[in-house]
Amino acid sequence: MILVTGGAGFIGANFVLDWLAHSDEPVLTLDKLTYAGNLENLRSLEGDARHVFVQGDIADAALVPALLAQYRPRAIVHFAAESHVDRSIHGPADFIQTNIVGTFNLLEAARQHWLTLEGAHRQAFRFLHVSTDEVYGTLSASDPAFTETKAYEPNSPYSASKAASDHLVRAWFHTYGLPVLTTNCSNNYGPHHFPEKLIPLVITHALAGKPLPIYGDGLQIRDWLYVKDHCSGIRRVLEAGTPGETYNIGGHNEMANIDIVQRICALLDELRPRSDGQPYARQISYVKDRPGHDRRYAIDARKMQQELGWTPAETFDSGIRKTVQWYLEHPDWVQNVQSGAYRDWVATQYGQA
Ligand code: NAD
């Protein structure tokens, strides 16, 4: 069995679904179900004996050791985090608590669990920490892409809290020998993405006839990866990565935000034209830039390719088409997330919202 934290969120849920599509090894999902956690994402696993869901906090110093003692996972894949940069600007406290204190608690519990394992089981245990390229800071147009040796220069409360968690993970390897792996990935997109982030926000706003907000000049560059490719990268690192190493995962798809929005508008014009026949791009609306907005991120993923033989399966064109199609085919999911109906469902299921 493996333990997946944050498995009801965007990437975590894609990972759990993907894992169980490729393997019969059971998954224990631990998720607090914050606003970003959504059990709808895992609904297709209802009744599947290979999946156990526990609602709980990674920072709970009683719960996490008890779960490890009960289920004895051979690996932990750690996604749980507060993940939205804008929210971190308005309220950083939750980011410090979950991303730093929560990761610390998980590492300590993992270390105690690992010490109870013997022989080959102890050798095989892995703690895989899922992190972001935002820890590296910002790039100018002419800078080379981030490699694994780039110095950390986080600029937002979110990226600073993730950088702190990366350092804790590194220290638990060097100090205690815990077999950790860290992945730093570029921006993900795909199914089940909470509609506060750029791509799902643009799709859902476009369909609802709302303005499509673009920060500043819209020329901020991000490196985009289809979420299923991130999942395959994590599986590969878990399988063959060297403990103590970090791996950058990216799609070599650098694009300016405004170009992403234009691309989505063009796809919607093709797949679901506006009722008045006008292009969706007319809904684009420029808004004041985010404070401290990083200009450019770019990932050099050559280590993943050369050492682990991993490459992404999707191009940006194929991935964004699948993503837009998924949102068009799942209006109920979007409506549930936006209306809070899924929270009511969780309240019925678990007695709390
Ligand atoms: P998300 O916000 O969609 O999901 C986070 C999940 O963690 C939610 O289900 C939430 O309920 C859960 N959670 C939050 N606090 C918790 C706590 N204290 N205890 C247990 N569960 C808790 O995030 P995401 O976009 O899926 O990102 C997952 C991970 O991947 C994060 O660590 C993030 O830093 C990293 N990452 C994300 C991206 C991206 O583009 N989204 C890129 C690179 C790395």
Domain ranges of the chain: 2-346
Query: Can you tell me the ipTM of this complex?
Result: 0.99
Q: Residues in the chain with pLDDT < 70?
A: 341-353
From the alpha carbon of 13, which atom of ligand 1 is closest?
A: 26
* Domain 2-346 grouped into CATH 3.40.50.720: yes
- CA separation for the pair 130, 183 (Å, rounded): 5
Active site residues: 133-134, 158
At 352 the pLDDT is 47
At 178 the pLDDT is 98
- CA separation for the pair 214, 198 (Å, rounded): 9
Residues 2-23: pLDDT tens digits?
999 999 999 999 999 999 999 9
Total length of the chain: 353
Tell me the helix, strand and coil percentages in the chain, rounded to 5.
50, 15, 35
User: Residue 12 C-alpha to ligand 1 middle, in angstroms?
Assistant: 7
User: Residue 13 C-alpha to ligand 1 middle, in angstroms?
Assistant: 10
Ligand 1 in contact with 80 (CB < 6 A)? Answer: yes
At 257 the pLDDT is 95
Ligand 1 in contact with 11 (CB < 6 A)? Answer: yes
- CA separation for the pair 211, 305 (Å, rounded): 40
Contact 238, 181 (CB under 8 A): yes
Residue 269 has which token pair?
A: 């014009």
At 346 the pLDDT is 60
- Closest by CA to 162, choosing from 154, 151, 173, is 154
Ligand 1 in contact with 297 (CB < 6 A)? Answer: no
Ligand 1 in contact with 10 (CB < 6 A)? Answer: yes
Which helix (H) or strand (E) element contains residue 339? helix 331-339
- Is residue 301 packed enough to be buried (19+ CB in 10 Å), middle (13-18) or exposed (0-12)? buried
User: Residue 129 C-alpha to ligand 1 middle, in angstroms?
Assistant: 11
At 353 the pLDDT is 42
At 60 the pLDDT is 98
- CA separation for the pair 66, 18 (Å, rounded): 27
